[in-house]
Amino acid sequence: MNRSFWERIEEEVLVGDGGMGTMIYSKGVAKGQCFDELNILRPELVREIHSAYIGAGAQIIETNTFGANRAILDFYGLGGKTKEINYQGAKIAKEVAGVAWVAGCVGPVSRPYESLKRPQEMEELFYEQIQALAEGGADLIILDTFSDIEEAKGALRACRRVGDLPVVCNFSFLEDGKTLTGLTPEEAAQKMHELGARIVGSNCGIGAQGVLEAIERMRSHSDGILSAFPNAGLPKFVGGRFLYPSSPSYFATYALRYLEAGAGIVGGCCGSTPAHIRAISQAIKGLKPKPKPRPDARISVKPRGEPPEAKPLSSLRGKIGKKFLQLVEMDPPRGVDMSRELEMAQRFKARGIDGVTVSDSPMARIRMSPLALSHRISSEVGLEVILHFTCRDRNIIGLQSDLLGAYALGIENILALTGDPPSVGDYPYAVAVFEVTSTGLLRIIRSLNQGRDLAGNPLSQKTTFFVGIAANPGADDIGQEVERLEEKASAGADFILTQPLFDPAVLERFLKKTAHLGFPVVVGLLPLYSLRHAEFLQNEVPGINIPQTIVERIKEGEDGVEIAEELLRELRGSAAGVCIMPPFHKYDMAERILQGFDKENR
């Protein structure tokens, strides 16, 4: 079959099939379900779609396995079924293929912005999937919708480890003619051609015109075979369903243009249906591919100019590690009136503190945006602010937009947090985003500080964010906690702010375990308001450990502020600073602790 495929594609343009996911969606399967699992749960539905494409004239059908790698299947709790899902996907397609070729469909193992984390691990994930597809009867492999060249290389290496199956390498390009990671069609074609890939092309993206432009640009830098699998335009959400605008006749017109550009395989992607493939087949089936022109001279990728440096805004950057920092945590109001918070910030400034941290809807309970309060405190009070920034509510576009907005408003200090899930808050059924965790957020911030967005596109100016991370010195598994901190250190963190700490011995152990990281450590200090407060923290809040001796002292009527002052005296010699976290917005407790601190240091 392999040999006949190469012979056939040299003599005739081959017709691919169309969208699989959108066809499944059109059959009433909900978006949130794992479509790849249907190879096991509803094989008759997958078989029906394959048969429809073959009946429309498809000579290559792709398996229903775009996201069937262990990394993605694990999100659905299906990682253990990786081999079965892929094997069955190929087997179902083979059962109905007849004289058509079965292409094992392989998508990226991870989101493009995480694709460079572990190259060897990625290759193993590809290998596991591709091997199962080959065992199920796949005649070739199509690498679909790739954005990152290193990930594509790993997938191609995995294909070669499995055997000599033909491989199609398709990249997805956006409106600016680049992939999400900034790769151009010329770069993709040249780099894959240099690795020996014989078929490269474009799929998905923004539609027929975008794919045509991509393969025209690829043709100038590769003398291999080209493939074109466009979307049926950009979708619109109408009447509760996604609808794609491109008609079958429009697809047929562009199929002929793809041939003129040198394509050897033409099919469709999202939104395309058997009607689109029938139109393509009627337009091009049996036509011969255009002669391959000599590719242009190899491209030379010019380094992008460096954005100008920004002037650092934060005074904390220069203070931390040189003086004992005094910070206070503040919560935005549950409304629009922030006069009380601004008044308290004025009073804290008068006491000479170094800054405030502003929380971001802690425990997923709705409050005003912390950015609004942070900006008002910074601009009107003139007090340094550390903005809590969570990954719960924003995708990577929103994260980057809001970070740039915060920087433009003069907020340079960020505490990078994953965020509490909605299930613990006021809106337990709200949808959490969590496209990245705090480690991914750190990578985003590091990229902005280097003058580029996460996709590698240059900014007009570099940012100079000063970034803190949270840590739990009293974690049950301190080794695992240190491993997370090491990963965050490599992602670009600058300092640590701990969860509330009640035992100096715990801090000493933590500092020894993390000394190799070189992070200044600011300790969280939470004054206990009452016995009920202490019992609640000890028994109902994860990550908080209060020594029984302190609970007994509160039970005997000792003042929580005095206990906090005592802790502060013991912690001061070891930590780089303190962040007082007054409970229930009892900012007077923070004032009393600061007043005691002032008296002691006169």
3-state secondary structure 407-463: HHCCCCEEEEECCCCHHHCCCCCCCCCCCCCHHHHHHHHHHHHCCECCCCCECCCCC
Residue 125 near residue 89, CB atoms below 8 Å: no
Task: Please report whether residue 84 resides in a domain.
Answer: yes
Least confident of 392-396, 426-430, 453-457: 453-457
232-240 own/partner pairs: CB under 8 Å, 24+ apart: 232/19, 232/207, 232/268, 232/269, 232/270, 232/271, 232/272, 232/273, 232/276, 233/207, 233/208, 233/271, 234/206, 234/207, 235/270, 235/271
Are residues 415 and 280 both part of a single domain? no
Task: Please report whether residue 580 resides in a domain.
Answer: yes
Are residues 12 and 132 both part of a single domain? yes
Amino acid at 328: V
Q: Is the pLDDT of residue 296 over 90?
A: no
Q: Is the pLDDT of residue 210 over 90?
A: yes
Task: Please report whether residue 410 resides in a domain.
Answer: yes
Are residues 418 and 341 both part of a single domain? yes
Calculate mean pLDDT across residues 573-586.
95
**Number of independent structural domains in the chain:** 2
pLDDT band at 86 (very low <50, low <70, confident <90, very high): very high
Amino acid at 506: V
Name the helix (H) or strand (E) containing 387.
strand 385-390
CA nearest 88: which of 53, 45, 33? 45
CA pair distance 413, 386, nearest whole angstrom: 5
Q: Is 343 helix (H, G, I), strand (E, B) or coil?
A: helix
CB burial string 392-401: b at 16+ within 10 A, e below: bbbebeebbe
CA pair distance 225, 252, nearest whole angstrom: 20
Are residues 62 and 10 both part of a single domain? yes
Q: Is 231 helix (H, G, I), strand (E, B) or coil?
A: coil
Residue 528 near residue 550, CB atoms below 8 Å: yes
Are residues 255 and 393 both part of a single domain? no
Where a domain ends, among 284, 303, 335?
Answer: 284
Tell me the two tokens of residue 575.
Answer: 């930590």
According to the model, what pLDDT value does residue 241 have?
65
Are residues 200 and 130 both part of a single domain? yes
Q: Is the pLDDT of residue 115 over 70?
A: no
Interval 314-364: pLDDT, tens: 889 999 989 999 999 999 999 999 999 999 999 999 999 999 999 999 888
Task: Please report whether residue 485 resides in a domain.
Answer: yes
74 Cβ contact list (under 8 Å, min separation 6)? none
Percent of the chain with pLDDT over 90: 75
Task: Please report whether residue 50 resides in a domain.
Answer: yes
Calculate mean pLDDT across residues 294-310.
55
Residue 481 near residue 475, CB atoms below 8 Å: yes
Name the helix (H) or strand (E) containing 226.
strand 225-230
CA pair distance 237, 439, nearest whole angstrom: 33
Task: Please report whether residue 117 resides in a domain.
Answer: yes
Where a domain ends, among 232, 266, 284?
Answer: 284
CA nearest 291: which of 586, 29, 10, 595? 10
3-state secondary structure 465-522: CEEEEEECCCCCCHHHHHHHHHHHHHHCCCEEEEEECCCHHHHHHHHHHHHHHCCCEE
Q: Is the pLDDT of residue 549 over 60?
A: yes
- In this structure, what CATH number is given to the domain that contains residue 470? 3.20.20.220
Task: Please report whether residue 9 resides in a domain.
Answer: yes
Q: How many helices (H) and strands (E) does the chain have?
A: 23, 18
- In this structure, what CATH number is given to the domain that contains residue 9? 3.20.20.330
Domain around 350: 324-529+561-600
Least confident of 246-250, 347-351, 428-432: 428-432
Q: Is the pLDDT of residue 305 over 80?
A: no
Are residues 212 and 332 both part of a single domain? no
Residue 547 near residue 492, CB atoms below 8 Å: no
Task: Please report whether residue 411 resides in a domain.
Answer: yes
Are residues 352 and 280 both part of a single domain? no
**How far is residue 576 CA from its own chain's centroid?**
32
Least confident of 385-394, 421-430, 431-440: 421-430
Name the helix (H) or strand (E) containing 209.
helix 208-219
Name the helix (H) or strand (E) containing 356.
strand 355-358
Are residues 174 and 279 both part of a single domain? yes
Half-sphere CA count of 89, side-chain side, radius 13 A:
33
Q: Is the pLDDT of residue 251 over 60?
A: yes
What CA dihedral angle connects 516, 522, 523 and 525, to 10 degrees? Answer: 180
Calculate mean pLDDT across residues 551-566.
94
Cβ neighbour number for residue 477 with a 10 Å cutoff: 8
Are residues 409 and 458 both part of a single domain? yes
Are residues 338 and 280 both part of a single domain? no
Q: Is the pLDDT of residue 520 over 90?
A: yes
Residue 293 near residue 283, CB atoms below 8 Å: no
pLDDT band at 1 (very low <50, low <70, confident <90, very high): very low
Average pLDDT, whole number, for the chain? 91
Are residues 126 and 198 both part of a single domain? yes
Sign, CA dihedral 320-323-329-330, equals negative
